[in-house]
Amino acid sequence: MLKYQAMEPIWEKTWPDNWPGNYIMEGKDPLFHTLYDNATRFRDKPALIYYGGTITWWEYRDLVMRAAAGLQKLGVVKGDRVYLGLQNCPQFFIAFFAAHALGAIVVPGSPMFKAGELTYVLNDSGAKVVITQDDLFPIFESIRQNASSVKAVIVTSLGEYLPDEPYPEFPLAVSRTVEPSPEYKTWPELLSSEPIRKFADVSIDDIALLQYTSGTTGYPKGAILTHRNIKHRAVNDSWMHDDAHYFVHLAVMPLFHVTGMGNHLLCSTYCGATAVVMVRFDAEAVLQAIERYRVTYLCSITTMDIALITHPKFNDYDISSLVGMTMGGAPLPPVIQQKYEDIGLHLAEGYGMSETMSTVAWNPYDRIRQGTVGVPIAHVEARIADINDIEKNVPLGEQGELWVRGPSIAAGYWNKPEDTAETFLEGWIRTGDIATMDEDGYITLNGRLRELIKASGFSVFPAEVETYLYQHPAILECCIIGVPHDYRGEDIKAFVVLKPEWVGKITEEELVAWAREQMSVYKYPRVIEFRDELPKSGTGKIMRRILKEEQAAASEGK
């Protein structure tokens, strides 16, 4: 008998009639087969719109097959890892499915990665090919000698698919082409081969994705996601959103992250919809794009939603085409929620993780319960486990650790059997989030068992930031906490004890500047406080809780 039992699925009574229920089926073919078929069904319809530049479904398929042929020429075979270091652009869509057509495993990396982060992910995944932007190539070049698994590099530019007169205005100064070099292949060179004529023999249970997520014990871990995981996400989302081929998605959330990837790459591909691709978020540019391209669906985070509806030109644009919005990252202030309700838009908050291919709980549009992350979706089982006895479930309304199980749950962590055994049990994933469930199945998050910090919608684990900080020769001890921030939700603060020989030879500001070069913009500590010592337990463990209490007391005293 299994030790860990699901709670009674009381949430099913909350499901709207249009939700699929547990009869949803993803089929036996991976999602790239669906892309191939949709190209015939929607031949001349836009698949991707990039600042006014259009790629039809037929062209999309051809580009994917050509890119696959180019990767094949570079020696990519089933099981190889292909790293994508790209911002939102058509090349991300194309390369993602080109790798899958060969049975390769995609490793999406943040374009905000600095040298330390990039080195770790490339080496841990064993990436064979890197596809990156021209402005990010220097970072790879600086660590190339430390990434021995990489055999080939493709460099592209964000300007390669831009039309002559981009709309909205493109936010960056970019080149239209990349100069050839013996150090890499250009994007046109990758696409210069005849399209492949046959897919690799890929099962829906083969690995599709290594999604790196911050860990509680140092460096990131690669969540192993299969083709079934990602396709189930696409199918389930399309049902929940009432998505269809006539939908127009605004792909402004980062595609390297499971939220943007699931909502706007996977779901739109499954449905045969159109994705309006934007390289980054700008409130007025998003409003312009919604009006011009008649966007029907937008996924965002709380900070985006606030910036949109409080923008001074919000009422200057026609956004009446929107029929659905989903959001997450942090609770939405009630006054902002009401502003959207007043114009007939319901912002539905959900919950998920990299290890769950994002959404496992969601608020139905017509029955949003504010302050919650919604109810478990189709095929997802949930339990609120007793923290002191994980074999037991707590009663409704009481706090415990949220566990979930279902078809989108990762198979484990890449090359990390101990972490896998600790987190994945009998098909369940221990989320590390403290939660309660009410009598209708709505889940409310009440804290983070593993000290997770949410900064601008991104998950930041203190242990990972500390691992990077310890690489600086001046640091003897450090401890990371999250401090409240009105816009970003939380900021990162580091308490640092310097080695004796460094005292007086480095400033807090200089250490912040160094950290900025090592970590993504949302991750590095914006504030560093030097201490002579850090509070510790009797066993010598640094007491993060005491530092948080001291910080809270200091903030209240201001």
Residues 332-385: pLDDT tens digits?
Answer: 777 788 889 999 998 888 999 999 998 999 999 889 998 899 999 999 999 999
Give the single-character DSSP code of 348.
E
Residue 189 has pLDDT above 70, yes or no: yes
Split at pLDDT 50, 70, 90, the class of 461 is confident
What is d(CA 382, CA 7) in angstroms, rounded to the nearest whole number?
Answer: 6
Q: Is the pLDDT of residue 216 over 70?
A: no
Whether 215 has a pLDDT exceeding 60, the answer reads: no
**In 424-548, at which residue ranges do the beta strands (DSSP E only) sit?**
424-425, 428-437, 443-448, 453-455, 458-460, 475-485, 489-498, 527-530
Q: Do the beta carbons of residue 297 and residue 323 sit within 8 Å?
A: yes
Segments in 17-82 forming alpha helices (H): 31-41, 57-73
Question: What is the CA angle 473-474-477, rounded to 5?
Answer: 105
**How does pLDDT run across 378-401, given as a tens digit for each residue?**
999 999 999 889 999 999 999 899
| pLDDT tens string 128-160 | 999 999 999 999 999 999 999 999 999 999 999
Terminal-residue alpha carbon distance, the chain: 56
Strand 129-133 vs strand 152-156: parallel, antiparallel, or unpaired?
Answer: parallel
Q: Does the residue 189 lie in any domain?
A: no
Amino acid identity for residue 395 in this structure: P
Q: Is 398 helix (H, G, I), strand (E, B) or coil?
A: coil
Sign of CA dihedral 120, 123, 127, 131: positive
Model confidence at 242, in pLDDT bands (50, 70, 90)? Answer: confident
* Cross-strand partners of 106: 82, 209
Residue 474 included in any domain: yes
What residues make up the domain containing 473? 453-556
Residue 521 falls inside a structural domain: yes
Q: Model confidence at 471, in pLDDT bands (50, 70, 90)? A: confident
Q: What is the mean pLDDT of residues 257-276?
A: 95
Q: Is the pLDDT of residue 424 over 70?
A: yes
User: Average pLDDT of 417-439?
Assistant: 94
| Distance (Å, whole) CA 383 – CA 12 | 14
Q: What pLDDT does residue 417 have?
A: 95
Q: CA 496 to CA 392: how far, in whole Å?
A: 40
- Token pair belonging to 259: 């939220």
Which residues, at least 6 apart from 500, have a Cβ–Cβ distance to it below 8 Å? none
414: how many CB neighbours lie within 10 A of its CB?
22
Question: What single-letter amino acid sits at 286?
Answer: V
Domain assignment present for residue 492? The answer is yes
pLDDT at position 75 is 98
Q: Does 512 fall in a domain?
A: yes
Q: How far apart are CA 465 and CA 490, in angstroms?
A: 15
Q: What DSSP character marks residue 153? A: E
Give one DSSP letter per residue of 210-227, joined into a string.
Answer: EEEEEETTEEEEEEEEEH
Structure confidence at residue 21 (pLDDT):
79
540 contacts: CB under 8 Å, gap ≥ 6: none
Q: How far apart are CA 394 and CA 376, in angstroms?
A: 17
Please report the sign of the dihedral spanned by the C-alpha atoms of residue 400, residue 402, residue 405, residue 410.
Answer: negative
DSSP string, 95-116: HHHHHHHTT-EEEE--TT--HH
Give the DSSP letter of residue 26: -
For residue 519, is it within any domain? yes
Question: In the structure, what pLDDT confidence band is assigned to residue 219 with cuts at 50, 70 and 90?
Answer: confident
At residue 331, does pLDDT exceed 80?
A: no
Reading the block at residue 354, the tokens are 């990299």
Can you give the CATH number for the domain in which 468 is found? 3.30.300.30
If one counts the domains in the chain, the total is 1
Q: Is 456 left (phi over 0), alpha (psi -120 to 50) or beta?
A: left
The verdict on residue 523 lying in a domain is yes
Q: Which residues contact 151 (CB under 8 A, 6 or more apart)?
A: 74, 75, 128, 129
Q: What is the mean pLDDT of residues 63-77?
A: 98
Instruction: Check pLDDT > 70 for residue 448.
Output: no
Q: Is 483 domain-assigned?
A: yes
Asked if pLDDT for residue 19 goes beyond 90, the answer is: no
* Summary mean pLDDT of the chain: 92
Q: Give me the percent of the chain exceeding a pLDDT of 70.
A: 96
Residue with tokens 């049902």: 239
pLDDT for the residue numbered 42: 98
The closest alpha carbon to 372, from 332, 423, 409, 421, belongs to 332
